[in-house]
Amino acid sequence: LTVTEVETIPFAIPYRKPLAFASGSVSVAEHVLVRVRTAGGLVGVAEAPPRPFTYGETQASIVAVIQQIFAPAVLGTDALHREQIHARLRRTVGNPTAKAALDMALWDVIGQAFGRPVTELLGGYSDRMRVSHMLGFADPAAMVDEAERIRSTYGITTFKVKVGRRPFRLDVDVCRALREHFGDAVELYVDGNRGWTPSEAARALDAMADLDLTLAEELCPADDVLGRRWLVRHTTIPTVADESATTPGEVTREILGGSADAISIKTARTGFTDSRRILHQCEGLGVEVVMGNQIDGQLGTACAVAFGSAYDATTRRAGELSNFLDMSDDLLTEPLQIQDGTLAVSGRPGIGVTVDEDKLEHYRVDL
């Protein structure tokens, strides 16, 4: 499984419906397709989504760091020697989605070499996950309509509501409208993407205390160290660390520091190898996890569901696997299908999806 080539192809696919949240917005999927080839002729793929507002990466930085630093570090290496490869990647700080895409493309090759789906190599717990849909900023009526459309079309009954606006009443009104419309038929939780101060977050949670929210994610910045600890003590809703816990070390700091009590795992930033490290760390600590979404396209979503389906702990909650529904098109030959509120893993070897070369040609961009 000697790696002979690492390709990075930037592409841009517009969203039909942009997603807005407290730290930014996404209206075009400007991702990078990472493709590795082996001496035996296998081809592994994954996608890296630049999120400058979360990790500081851009499409150009992902291409550059992979071509200038990571590709030379993995060329000539056996794809199975993952710990060797990761030791080399770790010499460069940051660049999480570039590292993760390379890691997952290598796992794609490994799965194909063994003739088994990656999800089975990882854990093989289930063949599907329940899906949670993310609702971006809009007014209450539009967000209720959107949730109703998603529920009736795809059978999804778990919604993560983006919050973190000012005044916080804007978001409280949305959550209240959703609960009033759906009653007990849906699960609701919130993600603030660091938009509020700890005291605003506390007031917002108090104002929503009767809405049966199941999780509260990144309501205020992790750098508000004492304020965030105070907030976590203030609320009985499990507080999820997402962008503040992107490495095993950050997970330890957030959890042991009392700044969070659950962790969002995103394959887009920790690949399969480090997502597994974080999952096992959370199991050891007795901390709940939720499979998050980095506003992934279908390829990234196929990776997230492959990982999430592989383990008992990651299937307990619905995974965030539906952002791709808002894209105007995608790269796969066979589009992912969400049915009855669930997304199944591919039964084919590796990640189990195929990139449509015509679509890639159409959407690729020159930087």
Question: Which CB, 25 or 199, lies closer to ligand MUC?
Answer: 25
23 lies in the binding site for ligand MUC (CB under 6 A)? yes
Q: Report yes or no: 74 and 88 within 8 Å, Cβ to Cβ.
A: yes
Amino acid at 98: A
The residues that are catalytic are 162, 191, 217, 242, 266, 294
In a 3-state reduction of DSSP, which class is residue 218? coil
CB 98 within 8 A of CB 67: no
Query: Could you tell which of ligand MUC, Mg ion, none binds residue 294, using a CB distance below 5 to 8 A set by kind?
Result: ligand MUC
Out of 242, 254, 296, 320, the only residue in the binding site for Mg ion (CB under 5 A) is: 242
Distance, in Å, from the CA atom of 341 to the CA atom of 344, rounded to the nearest integer, reads: 10
- Residues in region 88-147 near ligand MUC by CB under 6 A: none
Q: Which stretch binds Mg ion (CB under 5 A): 161-169, 191-199, 312-320, 354-362?
A: 191-199
Residue 38 or 293: which CB sits closer to ligand MUC?
293
Choices 102-110, 141-149, 211-219, 251-259 (CB under 5 A): range interacting with Mg ion: 211-219
Whether residue 119 contacts residue 345, with contact meaning beta carbons closer than 8 Å, is answered with: yes
Q: Report how far apart, in Å, the C-alpha atoms of 31 and of each of 8, 47, 50, 70, 115 are.
A: 10, 7, 6, 18, 28
Smallest distance from ligand MUC to CB 191, Å: 5
Residue 1 touches ligand MUC, criterion: CB under 6 A: no
Q: How many residues does the chain have?
A: 367
Site string for ligand MUC, 40-79 (x = CB under 6 A): -----------x--x-------------------------
- The closest residue (CB) to ligand MUC is 54
Helix ranges, 155-197 (H):
169-182
Q: How far is the CB of 18 from ligand MUC (least distance, A)?
A: 12
Element (H, E) at 291: strand 288-291
Handedness of CA 335, 361, 301, 137 (dihedral sign): negative
Residues of this chain that interact with ligand MUC (CB under 6 A) are 21, 23, 51, 54, 191, 193, 242-243, 292-295
